[in-house]
Amino acid sequence: MKSLLAMMFLGVIMMVSCTTVKKAAPVITVDYPVEFTLSKADLMDKIKGGWAGQVIGCTYGGPTEFRYKGTMIQDYVPIPWNDSLMEFWYTNIPGLYDDIYMDLTFVEVFEKEGLDAPASSHAHAFAYAEYMLWHANQAARYNIMNGIEPPASGHWENNPHADDIDFQIEADFAGLMNPGMVNSSSEVCDRVGHIMNYGDGWYGGVYVAAMYSLAFWSEDLEFIVKEALKTIPEQSEFYQCIADVIGWYENNPGDWKQTWFEVERKWSSDIGCPDGVFVPFNIDAKINAAYIVIGMLYGDGDFGKSVDISTRCGQDSDCNPASIAGILGTVMGYDAIPEYWKQGLDKVEDMDFKYTTISLNDTYEMGYGHAIEMVKRNGGEELEEGLKIQVEEPVAVKFEKAFDGHYPVDRIRADWKGNALQAGGKTAHSFNFKGKGFVLRGGARKLSGVEKDITLEAEVYVDGELHELAHLPTGYQGRRHELTWKYNLVDGDHTVKVVWKNPTRGYKIELGDVIVYGPEQINQ
C-alpha cells in the first residue's frame, strides 16, 4: 500500500496537459516503491512527444552545430524557425538526424529479435549500417568490424573516444521504452551503451535515458534532473559536473549565462577525444550534458526557451537541444508541445529517416509496443485502458573511469617531412615522446584519381616491440578514426615506429599530430 507521503507526491507530480512545465518547489523525498497508472492514450502521447521533440531540437540547433566552440551563441544571433526547415533538412542534409536514426537501429533490433536482443545484435546492426559515423561510434564500428566485440569495443583502451557524447545522443530509446522504470532503462543502457562508450561517455546515456523515464511520471523538471542523477556513481566526474550545475543553479537561479561560465571554467578541458585535446572543440559527454541541464533548469518549463538556452550553450548544439526537447516532449506529451514548435512536423512524419525504412509515425507505434511490454516485464500490469507501473528508486550503475591516471601533457606537431608514408618514398617513420601513453592521429587515404578502396597495413612498434598490426581501410565507412595509440605504458621515454607493410602506389598513410599523455595534469 502506498504511504500518505507517496500519494501526496503523486498529486504534485502527475502530468497535466500544458504548454509549459512547472519547476519544483522544495524537492520532496519519495517513499519508494510507488505505483502509478498511466492511460494508454497518455502513454502514446508522451512517446510521440519524446520522438518528435528530438526532431524539433535537432532541426532548431542544426545550423549552429560546433560553430560555437567554447563560446555561447549571443542573444542577438538569430536562429531561424519556420514550417519548411524540417523538410529541408530531411531532404537535403539527412545526416543531421543521426541522433534519431542511430536510436532507431536499436529500436529495430528489439522489434525484430525481441526485448532480450543481446549486445552483439545491436553492435553488428549499427556497425554494418549504411550511415556515416564519427568519434566513439566510428571507433566502435571499426573495432566490431575487426573482431573486437562489446563491451571491449567501447572500452577506453580500445576506443580513444570513450568519453565522447555518442551514446548520450542515442540513449533516448532506452528511457522511452521504460516509462517510470529507471533501473530497467539503465540495464538497457548497459547492454547497448558499452558498444561505443565507457565511463563518463556511457554515463551520459544512462543519465539522459533516466530523465526520459522519469518524464513519464513527473512534470517537476528539477526533480527529474536530480532524481536521474541517482543513477550515476557519485565518484565519477560526470556526476560531479552535473551536481555542480545544480548547485550553481540553486545559488543563482536567474542567470543561466553565469552557470555556463562556471561550467566552462571547471569542466571544459577534454582529456580523451584526440580531436578535442588542447583545442576549443569539445564533444565530451559531461560538458554537453551540462548544457542540457542548464536548459532544463533555466528554461522555466517553457519548451522554446529551454531548447533555445541549450542551443545557445554551444558545442554540440543540435544534439543537446534534441535531448532536452525530447525529454520535455515526453513530460508534456505531443499534443501539448506548442504549435509553433510543431510546425513542419506534418510534412516529415511519414518520411523514412535516411538509411532506414522507418518514419516517425512508425517509431511512435514501435515505441508504444515496446513500452507496454517493458512495463509488464517489470512488475507492472496492462489494463484495458491503461497501465499500472511500478516505480523503484533509481540505483547507481557501476563505477568506471576512462583514461584513469592519464592527462594530456604534450602535442607533437606533424612537422616530419611529407607528413605521410607513400609507395616509392618513405614507408616508415619513428618518433620519441616522454610520458605513459600516446595517440597518433592520421589514417589511410587514396590519392586523387584513384577509385578503389583497399586496406593498408602498418606495423606499430613501441620501444622495439610489436604493439599491433594496424589495418587501415581507405574507405570512409570502415576507416580507423586514429592511426594508432597505446595507453598504460610505464611513464618515461618511449620510441614509436610505424612501418607500412603493403606499400601500394596511389595510396598513402597520413601522419598527423601525436597527443602525449603523462601521469599528472600540468599547470595545476
Tens of pLDDT, residue by residue over 216-226, are: 999 999 999 99
Q: Is the pLDDT of residue 14 over 60?
A: no
The average confidence (pLDDT) of the chain is 93
What's the rounded Cα separation, in Å, for the pair 521 and 299?
Answer: 36
User: pTM to 2 decimals?
Assistant: 0.94
- Locate cell 542551443: which residue? 311
What confidence category does residue 27 fall into, taking pLDDT thresholds of 50, 70 and 90? Answer: low
Distance CA 440, CA 197 (A): 20
Q: Name the residue with higher pLDDT: 306 or 423.
A: 306
Q: At what angle do helices 319-332 and 40-61 cross, to 10 degrees?
A: 160
Mean per-residue pLDDT, 168-195: 98
User: Is residue 254 predicted with pLDDT exceeding 50?
Assistant: yes
How many Å apart are CA 174 and CA 190, to the nearest integer?
A: 10
CA distance 131 to 126: 9
Question: Which of these ranges, 4-8, 361-365, 449-453, has the smallest mean pLDDT?
Answer: 4-8
* pLDDT tens per residue across span 266-290: 999 999 999 999 999 999 999 999 9
Percentage of the chain lying above the pLDDT 70 cut: 94
Q: Which of 285, 293, 277, 278 is nearest to 315 (CA)?
A: 285
Note the pLDDT of residue 397. 98
Q: Is the dihedral of CA 368, 374, 380, 381 positive or negative?
A: positive
pLDDT at 274: 97
Per-residue pLDDT tens over the stretch 103-144: 999 999 999 999 999 999 999 999 999 999 999 999 999 999
Say if residue 238's pLDDT is above 60. yes
Residue 20: per-residue pLDDT: 57
Is 88's pLDDT higher than 60?
Answer: yes
Superfamily name with CATH number, domain 4-391? ADP-ribosylation/Crystallin J1 (1.10.4080.10)
The domain segmentation of the chain, as residue ranges, is 4-391, 407-518
- What's the pLDDT band for 21 if we cut at 50, 70, 90? low
For the cut 50, the answer to whether the pLDDT of residue 8 exceeds it is: no
**Over the stretch 345-400, which tens digit does the pLDDT of each residue have?**
999 999 999 999 999 999 999 999 999 999 999 999 999 999 999 999 999 999 99
Which of 190, 195, 120, 187 shows the shortest CA–CA distance to 161? 195
Q: What's the pLDDT band for 524 if we cut at 50, 70, 90? A: low
Structure confidence at residue 522 (pLDDT): 75
Q: What is the pLDDT of residues 469-478, one digit of tens each?
A: 999 999 999 9
The predicted structure's pLDDT at residue 7 = 32
Hey, what's the cell of 247? 548547485
More confident: 58 or 28: 58
- pLDDT of 488 reads 98
For domain 407-518, give the fold. Jelly Rolls (2.60.120)
Give the mean model confidence (pLDDT) for residues 62-84.
97
Query: What pLDDT band is residue 4 in, cutting at 50, 70 and 90?
Result: very low
Segment (H or E) for 332: helix 319-332
At residue 215, the pLDDT reads 98
Kindly indicate the confidence band of residue 323, based on its pLDDT and cuts at 50, 70 and 90: very high
Specify the DSSP class assigned to residue 313. Answer: T
pLDDT at 28 over 70: no
**Local confidence band at 320 (pLDDT 50, 70, 90 cut-offs):** very high
* pLDDT band at 11; cut points 50, 70, 90: very low
Q: Looking at the predicted structure, is the pLDDT value of residue 248 above 60?
A: yes
What's the confidence (pLDDT) of residue 2?
34
Average pLDDT on 163-174 reads 98
What is residue 284's DSSP assignment?
Answer: B
Cα separation, 42 vs 484, in Å, equals 50
317, pLDDT greater than 50? yes
pLDDT bucket at 414, cuts 50 / 70 / 90: confident
